[in-house]
Amino acid sequence: MKEPQRLNSLNLARFSLFQGCLGCLAVIFAGMLNRIMISELAFPAILVGGGLAFEQLMAPSRVLFGNISDRWPINGKKRTPYIFLGAGGFCIMAILSIPYIFFTEKILGEGDALQIILCSIGLCALFSLYGLAVSMATTPYLALVIDMTSEEERPRAVGVIWCMLTVGIVVGAIAISIATKGLDGVTEPSILQESLQSFMVWVSSIVFCLTIFACWGIEPSLASNNNSLENFKNKEVGLKESWKIITSSKQIIIFFLFLLLYTLGLFLQDPILESYGADVFSLPISKTTLLNAFWGVGTLLGLLIGGLWVTPKFGKLSTARIGCWLILSSLALLIISGISQSVNALFGVLVIFGLAAGIATNSALSLMLDLTLPEMAGTLVGVWGLAQALSRALGKIFGGGLLDLGRIFTGPENPFLAYSFVFFVEIIVTGLAIFVLGKVSVKRFREETSTTMESLFMAELDN
């Protein structure tokens, strides 16, 4: 088997900037808009969660984009053209989101049912296009990591890239806090829109420019490799064959279910966390936006601790189990912090929660790499991305929906109980993820997929 093109330390540092940019824009796009729409513009939580969930409901396109990037290079390159196209798309959608949200707020205030329905559909469509662009950019990006690293190098590469993603989240949270500090107590939509629009234009422009810098020239041309473009096309694994391989392995289904439950358990509170700080702890905008920064710092530490010490010492499966138990415990502490209404306790728990998330994520990503085949790297990365994105979509839908349900049961005068209901459901989901993780076996995955691939290639030779 041909050795992959090396992704040296300098290029890896530059390449990881894309993940940092993505994390920065993601926390701004989702976190800030969640808070503004729910707390300042009084959108129904189910509309906010449901609308943002459409970003993740585009997740099935990850499998398609992964397979397309496996099979259809542009100008001799399989991955980077799709990264650039996707990055341009999600930056444009982020800019367009601000005026449309404030237009929707105006329509909601007028109370015309037909216009409200049409605006809600438009909001979902805008977030869908954002999610489609993210899928186009991120799936080939992760596949390129596999293309350009050996099995021994990948854990280090993934650790650096995901640490940069977390740094981007922290930077984004801090940027929001600085940008919105002058908006504390402001409820006038026109003032909010002007400030947020300018901020989003600057952020999106910087993100796109840094994406070009991060990925330009990283991927070698297929024509420069020992394998020619014709040989590459002859070795492609089509979508039909990929689907047969995916469905033939019980381990793929089991790990898909684990990723679904694990990510749902991690992000079910995502659409309501900043509102939790506002409604239960009476924090202003500039403070609630820092909740993601504290969570991000904890995650960064968890990724480093997990990659450098915990995973090598205890193994990937054991570390993932440890991380999931820590996440479950952190959710319980999040409820306890609400009982005490201690702001310091809330920020401290979020650091612990991030630490748990980082440890679990490091091991889960390492397992993802073990459960990937070089011949269909883009496609399998798309499958794992589908599981994560689908669960994040469910988290946005059910996070907001469970909060509304909790408010119905407990009444508007008991916000803590409504939020605690969401956290309790999240604890149950994380417990289920721990149970499913016990069924995962990398050895059985390799046996199952190898047998199926051999059968498909033999059938192709017979034809």
Confidence of residue 392 (pLDDT cuts 50, 70, 90): confident
Q: Is residue 392 part of a domain?
A: yes
Confidence of residue 3 (pLDDT cuts 50, 70, 90): very low
Predicted model pTM = 0.70
Q: Is residue 231 part of a domain?
A: no
Q: Is residue 64 part of a domain?
A: yes
Task: Give strand pairing partners of 88.
Answer: none
Structure tokens at 251: 């381990």
Q: Is residue 228 part of a domain?
A: no
Whole-number pLDDT of residue 120: 84
Residue 200, domain extent: 9-218+237-462
Q: What is the DSSP letter of 74?
A: B
Q: Is residue 313 part of a domain?
A: yes
Structure tokens at 404: 């509304």
Task: Confirm if 354 and 295 have CB atoms less than 8 A apart.
Answer: yes
Amino acid at 455: S
The string of DSSP codes covering 338-383 is HHHT-HHHHHHHHHHHHHHHHHHHHHHHHHHHHT--GGGHHHHHHH
Q: Is residue 91 part of a domain?
A: yes
User: Cα 147 vs. chain centroid, distance in angstroms?
Assistant: 21
State the total domains in the chain: 1
Task: Give per-residue pLDDT as tens, 128-145.
Answer: 999 899 989 988 888 888
- If we measure between CA atoms, which residue out of 275, 270, 258, 285 comes closest to residue 368? 258
152-161, 167-176, 356-365, 433-442: range with lowest mean pLDDT? 152-161
Give the span between the Cα atoms of 80 and 274, in whole angstroms.
Answer: 35
Task: Give per-residue pLDDT as tens, 402-453.
Answer: 888 888 888 777 889 999 999 999 999 999 999 999 998 878 877 777 666 6
Q: Is residue 356 part of a domain?
A: yes
Structure tokens at 24: 């920065």
Q: In Å, how far are 222, 242, 244, 420 from 463, measured between CA atoms?
A: 28, 18, 18, 60
DSSP reduced 3-state for 125: helix
56-70, 209-223, 308-322: range with lowest mean pLDDT? 56-70
Confidence of residue 2 (pLDDT cuts 50, 70, 90): very low
Q: What is the DSSP letter of 224?
A: G
Inter-axis angle of helices 250-267 and 442-462, nearest 10: 130
Structure tokens at 386: 């589908």
Query: At 391, which CATH number?
Result: 1.20.1250.20
Cβ neighbour number for residue 227 with a 10 Å cutoff = 12
Q: Is residue 4 part of a domain?
A: no
